[in-house]
Chains A and B, each alone.
Chain A
Amino acid sequence: MAEKRHWLEHPATQNFLIPIFAVVLSFAVGAIFILIVGQNPFEVYSVLFSQTLGTSYGVGQLLFKTTPLIFAGLSVALCFKAGLFNIGAEGQLQIGAFMTALVGMYTVGVPAFIEIPLLVLAGMVGGGVWGFIPGYLKAKTGAHEVINTIMLNFVAAALVSFFVTNLFNVPATVHTPSIAPTGRIPRFDAVFSGFEGSPVNFSIIIALLAALFVWYYIDRTRYGYELRVVGLNSKAAEYGGISVSKNIILSMTIGGAIAGLVGTNYVMGYKYYFEEGFSTGTGFMGIAVALLGNNNPFGVILAALLFGMLEYGGLVINTMVPKELVSILQAIVIIFVISSNKIFRKILVNFLKKRTLSIND
């Protein structure tokens, strides 16, 4: 006879509750830091929320910060489904964004309906190559992708730094010349009123489409099914005739390509050039976003919104508490998510056990 499950036992409920639990808990810990500075946590948090969510300018800033986090989060989440840990989104997005800028600066005069897809593709190819390398090395030599992606982050940073200080820069700067005007993605404030001055642009639509793609690919296609089987049990996959190495290479390449789309936001939608140091750890934040979003594409969007809010929120509370409070919050969220996955389930099991016992008495 099938036993009836308590609603709390349902994995979907837990997947939903744990991140919320972790976020609430980290805001509580953050309150301690606020108290140390001698401020009122309620005041600081209310400013944090009202200045980010309460004004259209704030929302615009928040969405601008959210877009790259969606790409990075999706990249990590997709690889994670295949059982791979992509710590290399940072390097992939560097190479991808640089490629976007590079192709953009040499293709002046191409009409927008070709130029925009071309630059998007350039970013995907750049990021894809940078994801392919650790995927290939893992598949062919067994070299751990975690170490290789970390190393490739540094190689990517050095490489683009070399390019924008020596070869492709505007003299005396560390950025490339502007991309062709037809490659620009319009800002929100060019279309809607109310977002004036905030850099949010239509690349966020690309981010949402990417999320939809990842969901469809993983949940609805044969390739996605294979990828998940490899992630769950690579030995079983091999027995079932699924090529593990092909899937490792493929998922790292697609993951890299998605990370490479970050350039659509910054290069095509905001500055119109690639600049050294444009990404301050977006790739690493993507890991947190994927984790908090439970590696689900729609969860990733929600988590990216939260982290985007925090990233912009640091600036609005800076007069009350040091803006680094948000980095601390982000770090604590991560630690709580990975810990509560274990702790929360254990507490739950104990709680349900006791309940059943007392009912049986």
Chain B
Amino acid sequence: MISQIFSLAFLAQTIRITVPYSLASLGGVYSERGGVVNIALEGIILNGAFCATVGTYYTGSALFGVACGIAGGLLTALIHAVVSIHIKADQIISGIAINLFAVGITKFILEILFQSSSNSPRIAGLPHIHLGFIESQPDVANLLGNPLVIVTILIVIASQFIIFKTRFGLRLRSVGENPEAAETVGIGVTLYRYYGVLISGALAGLAGAWLAFDQHSFTDGMSAGRGYIALAAMIVGKWNPLGAAAACLLFGFAESLQIQLQGGGLPTQFIQMIPYVATIIVLAGFIGKAVAPGADGIPYEKEN
């Protein structure tokens, strides 16, 4: 029983679920470390998935599709950046509006391009690298050989380094923690906040591309709350890349377990609740204190 559950297929399932969570969650870390709350992750994922699908469908190139997914994410994040950083409007409401916009615009264009408001035609998946082992389970081999899996792992490790060990990371954190102080030492608050939000757009867009390739098509609303789970993981991971990724892995594991135990054990709805309840518990301070960056969500008003 145990060995059945914790098989290679289970591992593959967990990874499949964790990859998009991690990418979007890291996006959240960059954005919020720079001081901009990004509830728009959900909409960015959706637009990323849509652009990746359309890009792949019309060119037949998965690589181009990935680029389109990232570009779609960047463009969506740009709206959030302009509204939050330049116009200094409410970041939370901007995020909600963008999520709503993404649902509408993707279905709108879907209908124009493919005469369906629910799904796109099938697209090819990502090419995978032949690993030369576990040939007996081609699905697992394909997944582990998926370049995006490797890229995601690299991004997680690199992000931990970038945010805590590089000049860029220090500056990004300083504009999120204390923008006034950052400004006095000559750091461009606006510029670094743009960096943070745009990086989050690229990463969440990539998460969307993953979903599109994983499912071989775009379906309406396919982000299905993943942006919010990513946000939850970011908090549970206390705004650290490694922590966020670990939380994503935990959530992915729970979800995978739920799929495995279908029909028996706990009702699926209770497993679905795990990320959300975990976040509430962590926020309440029962497991250490989760402290957001000092100026998170507060527009920076330059003094005259």
Chain A contacts to B: CB under 8 angstroms: 33, 36-37, 85, 87, 137, 141-144, 146-148, 150-152, 154-155, 158-159, 161-162, 165-166, 281, 284, 287-288, 291, 322, 324-328, 330-332, 334-335, 338-339, 341-343
Contacts and interface: CB of A to CB of B under 8 A. Distances in A.
Closest 10 CB pairs of A and B: A327-B104, A331-B101, A334-B97, A338-B89, A162-B269, A143-B283, A151-B276, A322-B111, A328-B104, A324-B108
A147 B270 contact: no
B285 A37 contact: no
Contact of B93 (A152, A287, A342): A287
A342 B301 CA distance: 12
B249 to A, nearest CB: 19
B96 interface: yes
B108 to A, nearest CB: 4
Interface in B97-134: 97-101, 103-105, 107-108, 111-112, 117
B270 A158 contact: yes
A326 B111 CA distance: 14
A328 B101 contact: yes
Contacts of B96: 87, 284, 287-288, 334
Contact of B100 (A162, A331, A341): A331
Interface of B: 37, 39, 79, 83, 87-90, 92-94, 96-101, 103-105, 107-108, 111-112, 117, 225, 228, 231-232, 235, 267, 269-270, 272-273, 275-277, 279-280, 283-285, 292
A53 B104 CA distance: 23
B97 A155 contact: no
B218 to A, nearest CB: 14
A331 B94 CA distance: 9
Given A154-B273, A284-B96, A284-B100, A324 B280 contact: no
B155 to A, nearest CB: 24
B63 to A, nearest CB: 28
Contacts of A284: 96, 99-100
Given A165-B269, A328-B105, 8 more contacts: A144-B292, A150-B39, A158-B273, A322-B112, A324-B111, A328-B108, A335-B101, A341-B89
Given A154-B225, A154-B228, A141 B89 contact: no
A43 to B, nearest CB: 18
Contacts of A165: 269
A174 to B, nearest CB: 12
A87 B92 contact: yes
A335 B92 contact: no
Contacts of B292: 144
B284 A143 contact: yes
Contacts of B97: 288, 331-332, 334-335, 338
Contacts of B100: 281, 284, 288, 327, 330-331, 334
A20 B39 CA distance: 26
Nearest to A163: B269
B284 to A, nearest CB: 5
